[in-house]
Structure 1
Amino acid sequence: MLFLLTITILLCSSLRGVIAGIPDKIYGVNLGSWLVLEAWMLPQEWLDMGGEQCSDCSQCIATEFAFAQAYPDTVDEVFNKHWSTWFTQGDVNKLVDAGINTVRIPLGYWIVEALVDRETEFYPRGGIRQLQRGLKQLQAAGIHAILDHHALPGVQTAGQMFTGRCTSDVEFYTDANYQRALVWTAVMATLAHLDPSFGSVFSIEAVNEPIMDANQTPGYGDFQKNFVKVVRAVELVLGIPVPGVELSSRLASSNFTSALTTAIATNSNGFFNAEVKSALKAAVPILIEIGNELSIPTIFDFNMAAVRNQRGSLVTNFMDVNWQHNNPSNPADAAIGPQGYDNHLYYSFGGVADANPDAYLKSICNTNRVQADAALGNTPLWFGEWALSTQFNASDEFLVKWADAQKLAYSQSRGWIFWNFKVEISKLAGDLARQWSYFEAVERGYFTKDPSKFNDPHVCDAYKNTSTTNKAITKQDR
């Protein structure tokens, strides 16, 4: 079974804005603290699990890494209980009732367990089965999903719970860890197409919140291009058309891992470069193991026509070019087929607007982020993280306006995904849910029950055309 690729990489700009199989407008929430746990969002449960709280998250049991290192014999059982109870069918029902049509699911690289170096890295096992369970429930409810690579091998940002390990030792931006992330990508792209439970997945996000200073992320532009090529290589083997890339002959095998192995062995060119081939090769035994573990027969016997007709290409997804400074690589340069862009905006950590209601509304009502990204080819854009949090004591009246104003701003783009679907309700959590939980904000009337509607669609009228500065502010530990 031999076949050759005739490669001409033609980036069709008209395809960059095409996203098939999802709503025209995204109204979404993050499923944060489910499969990547952030202890600040569930402080009482974390203590009950055996975790700790401290002012410097690197100095106590504040992350999954530290927990697994401290409790190697019980970590899997404890986390399986958390996964089973933090996101449930009841939560899916609430999402449907709230009109949510999309979820962004933060994932750690360790969900693909074979990628973890068990001698030096410590994480719970079993998350992939919980992901499959949750996606099946979401699909049954008609809710679309983005698989967000939220916590990267080697850690992509220092001192953050959301990376799974709170450390100043940032090593993601190395050849070895770029490669592990590409293997993760190959596995997730395959599951998205071949596991029926993943049928609602329309996009895979490459890296959540990389370091903002591009001088500190060497090789990131090449990684972006290889990320896209890995996704598209998987799709080529599945018979899904890829712009500018053609197979010169049909595949003879319906066993995906066999077909992928043949593609690796018989192609050596600018598309199947060394990094892409290495990642695909490493993914083969992992896919065989996962296929058996999760009972996914289509990995071993897939129908090319059925796969092609079931869905088109996945949407490759990156943080937008304006997330970084100091001459960053433009992810638009990596696009082959449909691609989307993500921006995050939080006002509660400073640097965006003065800490008062008028300044906040002037800023958000005049934000030009959608236009600035579009000018650099980063479209369609969605706002994948934002919240109602503030640096001042916000009244209920203001939070109604703040919710409307942000929704208006983010609806200029493809849509928005709120952080988070819920947070813990407990004495220890205090009033946290008021500004960080979508469910709570709907209950309190800050958000309309129909996410496409507004309490006051004219909330920005009095604040338009005011000079403001809008900077990207990362989500920090709370």
Structure 2
Amino acid sequence: MKRILAGLVLSSMLVAHACAGQATPIYGVNLGSWLVLEPWMLPQGWLDMGGQSCAQNCSTCISTESSFAKAYPDTVDTTFAKHWDTWFTQDDVNTLKAAGINTVRVPLGYWIVEALVDRSHESYPRGGLNYLRRGLGWLKDAGIQAILDHHALPGVQTPGQMFTGNCTSEVQFYTPYNYHRALVWTAVMTALSHLDPDFGSVFAIEAINEPIMNATKTPNYGTFQKNFVQVIRAVELILGIFVPSSGLSLSVSPSVSTNFTAALSATSSASIFPVEVQAALLDAVPILLEIGVECGLQAIFETSPFKPSRTSLVANFMDVNWQYDNPSNPADVAIGPQAYDNHLYYSFGGVADADPKSYMTSICNLQRVQADAKVGDSPLWFGEWGLPTQFNATDEFLYKWADAQKLTYSKSAGWIYWNFKTEISTLTNGNALARQWSYLEGLKLGFFTQDPAALHDPNVCAPYINSTTHSTSS
């Protein structure tokens, strides 16, 4: 069994059934700037909170949650509580449900698990877990499923980005210490996903959002991928949850069969788990005990018989083609349900020439789903995309641009738009920002259909199929 856990590789056919337990195709939105705030999406709101706007470099002013927490240590928690309470609400859930959205991707920072923050040199707002639990409860009641996206990793996974929570050029995620913290985070989130009733909408956990594309700069990332999967499956085995297509099982002593944290502690040292996985499971125990007290989950964690009524979670990775220079393939570490994520934005360049015809030709002939399938990264969904362009797009073009992207992404397991909303204010020139970045504003403007599965023009791509244009990526 140790050999199977350490090296089991599912065939692409087995992996293709990873999404059997959730809604397909996925029609989704990201809940960006809720629990990982990105000031560009709410510039006036950020200034009102006390943040700053950096002209060019986001590392030079108060532009992230980390810099904000360091600048306002006495008020940061109260300030962010107001933001968490208002940016994503029950009304938003009702609106998304009415719009036919069946999935949300929830960007999270590692600091949502507060015990993982090294307060000697790291500062982040506290209290977000309670708002996550409340929001997930709303989504569960609405029948909308959720992906927990580890969006901002300990040590920062890519340089110079607001979405990491700490805009810095010092990337330190790809180290044993921070890999370990991410695995502990994974163990905690897996346990909550299976045991906390408020997490009942969660069907997948994403290991890391947008790692550095050059694989030579992400040492041992492949080992982290393997350990990430095994942490999820270890927690599930301890809970007695069936892992499809794996043939795995684990016996838990009757003496701890009504105390999950005790079972996790007792079983973490089982030789079937690699040493790094054992350490992550063990370090998750006191954190879960603390969360149990704070969130009123002691009975579920410590005195309730295991009731494996939930299905095995989908382990979610950015696809292998996200990286270059001999990247590790997450398909090689699959145990049980697994799925893959790709992000595509034309507005940052490098995809197609900046004109309407080139954009349409590129998207209508996109081969990313096929390329991933060839290397076993299937099912694939597009976890981030949007309407922004590098040119002044007319409304007429945006109708076509929305249709063409939805049509293309529907060839995968589905799509998740970035973002569910953005600010509309003087600083965003009215709805100029929301017009291309907010799904709900795009719906109001008619770029998106009320039924997310529908298109204005099902033949939108016909004039562009097999056309040629200047592009740098497919």
**Same structural fold, with TM-score higher than 0.5 when normalized by the shorter chain:** yes
The residue identity in structure 2 corresponding to 1:294 is C
- Residues in 2 aligned to 1:467 and 1:335: alpha-carbon distance in whole angstroms: 37
The number of residue pairs the alignment matches comes to: 462
1:247 aligns with 2:250: yes
The residue identity in structure 2 corresponding to 1:43 is P
Q: Would the alpha carbon gap of residues 303 and 119 (structure 1) be closer, same or farther in structure 2, given more than 3 Å must change? A: same
The residue identity in structure 2 corresponding to 1:50 is G
Q: Would the alpha carbon gap of residues 354 and 6 (structure 1) be closer, same or farther in structure 2, given more than 3 Å must change? A: closer
Q: Would the alpha carbon gap of residues 198 and 249 (structure 1) be closer, same or farther in structure 2, given more than 3 Å must change? A: closer
Q: CA deviation at 1:319?
A: 0.1
| Equivalent runs, 1:320-339 vs 2, <5 Å | 320-339=319-338
| Equivalent runs, 1:148-187 vs 2, <5 Å | 148-187=149-188
Q: Would the alpha carbon gap of residues 153 and 127 (structure 1) be closer, same or farther in structure 2, given more than 3 Å must change? A: same
- Residues in 1 aligned to 2:41 and 2:254: alpha-carbon distance in whole angstroms: 48
The residue identity in structure 1 corresponding to 2:331 is A
| Alignment correspondent of 2:136 | 135
Instruction: Tell me, yes or no, if the aligned pair for 2:105 and 2:416 is still in contact at 8 Å.
Output: yes
| Alignment correspondent of 1:475 | none
Instruction: Tell me, yes or no, if the aligned pair for 2:240 and 2:249 is still in contact at 8 Å.
Output: no
Q: CA deviation at 1:6?
A: 5.9
- Residues in 2 aligned to 1:101 and 1:174: alpha-carbon distance in whole angstroms: 36
- Residues in 2 aligned to 1:276 and 1:16: alpha-carbon distance in whole angstroms: 23
SS at match of 2:393: coil
| Alignment correspondent of 2:67 | 66
Q: CA deviation at 1:245?
A: 2.4
Instruction: Tell me, yes or no, if the aligned pair for 2:81 and 2:128 is still in contact at 8 Å.
Output: yes
- Residues in 1 aligned to 2:80 and 2:472: alpha-carbon distance in whole angstroms: 38
Instruction: Tell me, yes or no, if the aligned pair for 2:99 and 2:452 is still in contact at 8 Å.
Output: yes
Instruction: Tell me, yes or no, if the aligned pair for 1:111 and 1:128 is still in contact at 8 Å.
Output: yes
Instruction: Tell me, yes or no, if the aligned pair for 1:6 and 1:245 is still in contact at 8 Å.
Output: no
Instruction: Tell me, yes or no, if the aligned pair for 1:7 and 1:246 is still in contact at 8 Å.
Output: no
TM-score (structure 2 length as normaliser): 0.96
| Equivalent runs, 1:180-219 vs 2, <5 Å | 180-219=181-220
SS at match of 1:457: coil
- Residues in 2 aligned to 1:213 and 1:249: alpha-carbon distance in whole angstroms: 42
Q: Give the % identical residues.
A: 65
| Alignment correspondent of 2:26 | 26
Q: CA deviation at 1:24?
A: 1.8
- Residues in 2 aligned to 1:470 and 1:129: alpha-carbon distance in whole angstroms: 44
Instruction: Tell me, yes or no, if the aligned pair for 2:10 and 2:332 is still in contact at 8 Å.
Output: no
- Residues in 1 aligned to 2:300 and 2:224: alpha-carbon distance in whole angstroms: 29
Instruction: Tell me, yes or no, if the aligned pair for 1:255 and 1:302 is still in contact at 8 Å.
Output: yes
Q: Would the alpha carbon gap of residues 470 and 319 (structure 1) be closer, same or farther in structure 2, given more than 3 Å must change? A: farther
Instruction: Tell me, yes or no, if the aligned pair for 1:182 and 1:279 is still in contact at 8 Å.
Output: yes
| Alignment correspondent of 1:476 | none
| Alignment correspondent of 1:378 | 377
| Alignment correspondent of 1:268 | 271
The residue identity in structure 2 corresponding to 1:427 is T
The residue identity in structure 2 corresponding to 1:321 is V
- Residues in 2 aligned to 1:161 and 1:149: alpha-carbon distance in whole angstroms: 14
Q: CA deviation at 1:407?
A: 0.3
Instruction: Tell me, yes or no, if the aligned pair for 2:238 and 2:251 is still in contact at 8 Å.
Output: no
| Alignment correspondent of 2:407 | 408
1:447 aligns with 2:448: yes
- Residues in 1 aligned to 2:450 and 2:150: alpha-carbon distance in whole angstroms: 30
| Alignment correspondent of 2:89 | 88
- Residues in 1 aligned to 2:414 and 2:304: alpha-carbon distance in whole angstroms: 34
1:259 aligns with 2:263: yes
The residue identity in structure 2 corresponding to 1:245 is L
TM-score (structure 1 length as normaliser): 0.95
1:288 aligns with 2:292: no
Instruction: Tell me, yes or no, if the aligned pair for 2:252 and 2:267 is still in contact at 8 Å.
Output: no
Q: CA deviation at 1:248?
A: 4.9
Give CA deviations for 1:268-289 in whole Å, capped at 9, x if unaligned: 24xx111001101110000000
Instruction: Tell me, yes or no, if the aligned pair for 1:65 and 1:164 is still in contact at 8 Å.
Output: yes
| Alignment correspondent of 1:12 | 10
The residue identity in structure 2 corresponding to 1:106 is P
Which residue, 304, 308, 323 being the options, matches 1:302? 304
| Alignment correspondent of 2:118 | 117
- Residues in 1 aligned to 2:364 and 2:255: alpha-carbon distance in whole angstroms: 56
| Alignment correspondent of 1:361 | 360
Q: Would the alpha carbon gap of residues 343 and 47 (structure 1) be closer, same or farther in structure 2, given more than 3 Å must change? A: same
SS at match of 2:27: strand
Q: CA deviation at 1:80?
A: 0.3
Instruction: Tell me, yes or no, if the aligned pair for 1:183 and 1:280 is still in contact at 8 Å.
Output: yes
| Alignment correspondent of 2:39 | 39
Q: Would the alpha carbon gap of residues 230 and 249 (structure 1) be closer, same or farther in structure 2, given more than 3 Å must change? A: closer
SS at match of 2:232: helix
Q: CA deviation at 1:247?
A: 2.1
| Alignment correspondent of 1:388 | 387
SS at match of 1:246: coil
- Residues in 2 aligned to 1:41 and 1:22: alpha-carbon distance in whole angstroms: 30
Q: CA deviation at 1:8?
A: 2.5
Q: CA deviation at 1:470?
A: 5.8
- Residues in 1 aligned to 2:381 and 2:262: alpha-carbon distance in whole angstroms: 37
